[in-house]
Amino acid sequence: MVKNILLTGGAGFIGSNVVQHLVQKYPQYKIVNLDKLDYCSNLEVIKYLDDCPNYKFVKGNILSADLVNYVLQKEEIDTIMHFAAQSHVDNSFGNSFEFTKNNILGTHVLLEAAKVNKITRFIHVSTDEVYGEILPSNPTALEGSTVLEPTNPYAATKAGAEFLVKAYQRSFNLPTIITRGNNVYGPGQFPEKIIPKFICLLERKRPCFIHGDGSHTRNFIYISDVVTAFDTILHNGVIGETYNIGTDFEISNLNVAKTLIRKYNLQDKEDEFIKFVEDRRFNDRRYAIDNSKLKALNWSPSVDWEEGLQKTIDWYRKHTHTFKNVETFLLPHPKPVAEPLDSFTL
């Protein structure tokens, strides 16, 4: 019985696509988008929704308990879809306090507000990185009940947030659902992630930077398939469950670069457009998740790798220069300034 949805982080890449889908497909729902407009947010892509009677944007931080409670009460929210998070692994190595504040404390603020305001469905968006690295000794895909073994500050904060979600469900009967997703890609993604970063570099006739030997593999899923997954979970997901959102398509970082170079007809100059650099402090070799629970809800991905990649390239060819301060994020290892511990405020 969804009526009024608060979606946090709705100006981010995944959140904004889910917002557009819900506003347009379900005019009977009211969608309230709460976003603090961080460096990777893009409000322009959803500006046209301002004219929709079932949509409202609120600029604000989920760390503000007063604001969150006010919005829940004023808009009579019954459902929360929590996308807001710091999500870039490289940044978490140098600015980890921000990840703790946003991902753990921010989630805690939302959970407490959801409990007080008797929210009927709380969907928490997490990541496959909470599972940790898949070792050769245990190569099977992981599912929701697997013990979490995060290996970097970003994944650790997302795992910490999940534990809070589960605690509120068990202690207070808060109706929660957790999702864990593969790497998402598609038009409009901020160029700190590997696919848009490589595309933007190639558009500038510059080489793709490969961390380590490039053999690390990831599973990729196109943005429209992620959107339909969240639609399915919103309406058919079982309270208390954890759903993996992903595909069986797995590719190494090096082969991602080679594929894009081929798409740009630069395969004869491959050596010029691939540059190996120092690896991350720790870089999981592989992830693998089992999406059978979600498939049992009659969801399956429909956009294959080649099709999704071409759509993404076509978009960036037109819009690659529209991102602000993009050059900072095209470096091999962006170095964010770490905030001191005493910057925590409530």
Q: Which sequence positions are flagged as catalytic?
A: 128-129, 154
SS3 track for 60-107: CCCCCHHHHHHHHHHCCCCEEEECCCCCCHHHHHHCHHHHHHHHHHHH
* Assigned token pair, 49: 């929704």
In this structure, the strands spanning 208-211 and 176-181 are unpaired
d(CA 194, CA 253): 8
d(CA 2, CA 19): 15
Integer CA distances (angstroms), 120 to 4, 72, 147, 175, in order: 11, 12, 27, 6
- The rounded Cα 278 to chain-centroid distance in angstroms is 25
Give residues with Cβ within 8 angstroms of 308, minimum separation 6. 185, 186, 220, 222
Residue 208 in contact with residue 238, Cβ under 8 Å?
no
Give residues with Cβ within 8 angstroms of 129, minimum separation 6. 89, 150, 151, 152, 154, 155, 158, 284, 287
Nearest residue to 235 (alpha-carbon basis) of 301, 177, 291: 177
d(CA 27, CA 53): 8
Phi and psi angles of residue 116, each rounded to the nearest 5 degrees, phi first: -65, -40
